[in-house]
Amino acid sequence: MTRAQGLRPAFLLVLLGAVLLVLCLLSIALGARGIPLDQVLRALAGHPDSRLVDNVVWTVRVPRTALGVTAGAALGLAGALMQALTRNPLADPGVLGVSAGAAFAIVFSVAVLGLGSLLGYIWFAFAGAFAAGVVVFLLGRMGRSGLTPVKLALAGIAMTSLLTSLTSAIVLTAPEALNRYRFWSAGSLADQGGETVLRVLPFVAAGALLAMACAPALNSLALGDDVAASLGRRLGLIRLQGVAAVTLLTGATVSVIGPVVFLGLVIPHAARALAERAGIGPDHRWLLPLSAMLAPCLLLAADITGRMVARPVEIQAGVLIAFLGGPFFIAMVRRRKLAEV
């Protein structure tokens, strides 16, 4: 056994936590106006060098960084959970139509109800995401065979197509909705206050608890439905719990920062690769926390890069993740031969 393969899971999580902490400090320090790390630390300790530094740190950078950690962890968990539920290594949370539900609700609330602030339409976005997830689950369990991964995925694709068409129809007739939708769909952590993080945190926390509670059952589910059922697992209840967790995690997060593509798709594969090197194996009790740690690292890294490469203009984090994640995922598909799945 090599040294890498002998890494302990707890040590791996601690190491990822240290990397995430460094990225958090860099996220607070770097931007259109750079702040030295020593001044950042003093401001965080309550002894800022100036009122301006204190305002930038606590009003702008800390909420943005906290949102990045929260959103990244939520999308990483949702991606790992989605792939486990469907037993499809190319699945992501969008397959349930949750992102499409949130987008439709945002556009509808802006165009029809006249809501213009995030705190006004975030609840509609969450309701739309949750409703889409529930409808997909109900559609997936129709028929004699009951709920299956294939039917669940097909129901999600159908729901996404329907909601995307409705969203496009509203956007084409409402300029205000178009402007809001264009900003939301780019995937950004910018212009979000601390109250936004506090509003989405309860939903993310509830989704995370549901996801972690699914972990032992997901290990059984990976062996196949028949084996899982013979082990006493209630398949319908497991998938219902998983759908609820994915809906909470992605609905609350995507409604705030937009659909960040490839994050929930690539991160679970990276977590599995780390787990294999650490000798953990395909144990979702460790894969889920690893995904929750890796995803905010990637999201914060993309956000920091977007702030620095074209200062003072920012490139949205979602754009960079898509740009970097696409080739990475293609390479991963070729390496693991997922194209044959």
Phi, psi of 337 (to 5 degrees): 55, 40
Q: What is the dihedral of CA 330, 336, 339, 341, to 10 degrees?
A: -140
| Residue 36 DSSP one-character state | -
List the chain domain ranges: 9-340
Q: Radius of gyration over alpha carbons of the chain, in Å?
A: 20
Instruction: Concatenate the DSSP letters of all residues of 103-115 into one string.
Output: HHHHHHHHHTS--
Half-sphere exposure of 205 (CA within 13 A, CB side): 6
Please list, in sequence order, all residues whose beta carbon lies within 8 angstroms of the beta carbon of residue 131, skipping any fewer than 6 positions away.
Answer: 101
Per-residue pLDDT of 238-271, as tens digits, reads 888 888 898 889 888 887 888 787 888 889 988 9
Model pLDDT, residue 147 = 65
Tell which wins on pLDDT, 6 or 81. Answer: 81
Structure token pair of residue 241: 């719990």
Which residue's structure tokens are 């997901």?
A: 218
The burial class, CB within 10 Å (0-12 / 13-18 / 19+), for 168 is middle
User: What residues contact residue 68 under an 8 Å CB cut-off, 6+ apart?
Assistant: 27, 189, 296, 299, 300, 303, 317
What is the reported pLDDT for 329? Answer: 65
Max CA distance (Å), the chain: 68
For 140-154, the DSSP string reads HT-STT-S-HHHHHH
pLDDT higher than threshold 80 for residue 333: no
Residue 154 in this model has a pLDDT that exceeds 90: no
Please tell me the distance from the alpha carbon of residue 341 to that of residue 336, in angstroms, as a whole number. 10
- Residue 201's pLDDT band, with cuts at 50, 70 and 90, is very high
Whether residue 317 contacts residue 301, with contact meaning beta carbons closer than 8 Å, is answered with no
**Residue 309 scores a pLDDT above 90:** no
pLDDT category of residue 106 using cuts at 50, 70 and 90: confident
pLDDT in tens, 11-51: 888 999 999 999 999 999 998 788 999 999 999 998 888 88
CB distance 239 to 84 below 8 Å: no
Buried b (16+ CB within 10 A) or exposed e, 281-293: eeebebbbbbbbb
Residue with tokens 């556009």: 107
By the 8 A CB rule, do 109 and 176 touch?
no
Q: Using DSSP, state whether 130 is helix, strand or coil.
A: helix
Please state, in angstroms and rounded to a whole number, the distance separating the CA atoms of residues 53 and 32.
13
pLDDT score recorded for residue 118: 67
Q: What is the mean pLDDT of residues 99-103?
A: 83
Summarize the confidence of residues 317-325 as an average pLDDT: 82
**Is the separation of the CB atoms in 151 and 143 below 8 Å?**
yes
Contact 149, 86 (CB under 8 A): yes
Identify the CATH assignment for 9-340 out of 1.10.3720.10, 3.90.1150.10, 1.10.3470.10, 2.40.110.10: 1.10.3470.10
pLDDT, averaged across the chain: 83
